[in-house]
């Protein structure tokens, strides 16, 4: 089944209403075996595209994952990127900012982790936390000691949205293609996954009381995500809302989104000049002669 990524993309200036978007869609696979075969084909194709990205050394790709707790970000990264050469891929997970990071602007700590040309960078959470968790918990803004102080109205978020859009446009102009994925999970599915983390001893490490506390702010987070995506989804750095109640489905959709983006770059192996080809043939003759 061909996945049309346009079904999940947020158009520029489109108002997002997450309760109007599904958290589950029809299965894209017939069985577990079929899912594994489909994912295998995707990882193989992604691997080839990543090799071309690396060898051409012209573009870089930044993939941003945002979601509520237990939506499956780690699993998507693990399974979708399993065939990619680790030398050409960098993964960063952003937690609570350090003392040093708090002394800089809100984009600084993520900006210095951007992928080099020829590489894929993956942000497990990102600078978008600064307009999500900080918005839901505005007391965090005080620790950043920004000149404007605590937020008054929505001005601080409007300013940050503008900064993000300008930064992403700058990156696009300089060859970084940005893919922003929100794994859209229902509150009921989160409840089930939290229970599984408690009931299955090998998953206990994944759950903390803080997770339950954040769940209590579900509605505020949904509102923050809606405003965030409505304000920052652009033609050059679009948001994709991927239904995530079915983990396998989500991984297939994400694979298609990344693959389609890479294919738009029309990557080709580096051109070898006639002079360089003659040089290589001369070296080959010497090696064939036993040198």
Residue 153, pLDDT score: 58
Domain 5-288 has CATH 3.30.420.40: no
Question: What confidence score (pLDDT) does residue 128 get?
Answer: 96
Sign of the C-alpha dihedral, residues 251, 121, 86, 280?
A: positive
265 touches 172 (CB < 8 A): no
**Residue ranges covered by each domain of the chain:** 5-288
Alpha-carbon distance of 246 to 29, in angstroms, equals 11
The whole-number pLDDT of residue 270 equals 75
Look up the pTM and report it.
Answer: 0.91
- For the record, the structure tokens of 246 come out as 């079915």
- The alpha-carbon radius of gyration of the chain (Å, integer) is 21
On the 0-12 / 13-18 / 19+ scale of CB atoms within 10 A, 105 is middle
291 residues of the chain, pLDDT tens digit each:
679 999 999 999 999 999 999 999 999 999 999 999 999 999 999 999 999 999 999 999 999 999 999 999 999 999 999 888 888 899 999 888 888 888 899 999 999 999 999 999 999 999 999 999 999 998 888 888 777 555 555 789 999 999 999 999 999 999 999 999 999 999 999 999 999 999 999 989 888 888 999 999 999 999 999 999 999 999 999 999 999 999 999 999 999 999 999 999 998 887 777 887 888 888 888 888 887
pLDDT of residue 206: 86
């Amino acid at each position: 089944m061909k996945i049309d990524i346009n079904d999940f993309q947020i158009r520029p200036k489109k108002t997002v209403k997450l309760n109007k978007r599904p958290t589950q869609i029809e299965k894209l696979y017939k069985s577990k075996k079929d899912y594994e075969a489909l994912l295998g084909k995707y990882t193989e194709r992604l691997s080839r595209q990543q090799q071309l990205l690396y060898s051409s050394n012209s573009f870089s790709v930044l993939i941003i994952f945002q979601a509520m707790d237990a939506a499956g970000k780690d699993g998507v990264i693990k399974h979708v990127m399993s065939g990619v050469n680790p030398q050409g891929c960098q993964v960063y997970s952003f937690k609570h900012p350090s003392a040093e990071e708090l002394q800089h602007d809100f984009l600084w700590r993520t900006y210095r982790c951007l992928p080099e040309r020829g590489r894929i960078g993956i942000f497990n959470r990102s600078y978008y936390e600064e307009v999500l968790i900080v918005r839901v918990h505005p007391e965090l803004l005080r620790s950043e000691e920004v000149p404007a102080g605590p937020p008054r109205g929505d001005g601080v978020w409007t300013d940050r949205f503008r900064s993000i859009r300008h930064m992403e446009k700058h990156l696009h102009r300089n060859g970084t293609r940005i893919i922003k994925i929100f794994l859209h999970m229902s509150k009921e599915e989160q409840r089930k996954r939290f229970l599984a983390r408690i009931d299955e001893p090998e998953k206990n490490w994944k759950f903390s009381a803080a997770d339950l506390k954040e769940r209590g702010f579900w509605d505020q987070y949904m509102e923050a995500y809606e405003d965030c995506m409505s304000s920052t989804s652009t033609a050059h750095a679009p948001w994709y809302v991927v239904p995530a109640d079915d983990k396998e489905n989500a991984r297939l959709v994400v694979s298609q989104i990344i693959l389609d983006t890479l294919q738009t770059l029309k990557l080709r192996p580096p051109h070898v000049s006639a002079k360089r080809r003659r040089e290589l043939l001369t070296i080959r003759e010497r090696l064939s002669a036993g040198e």
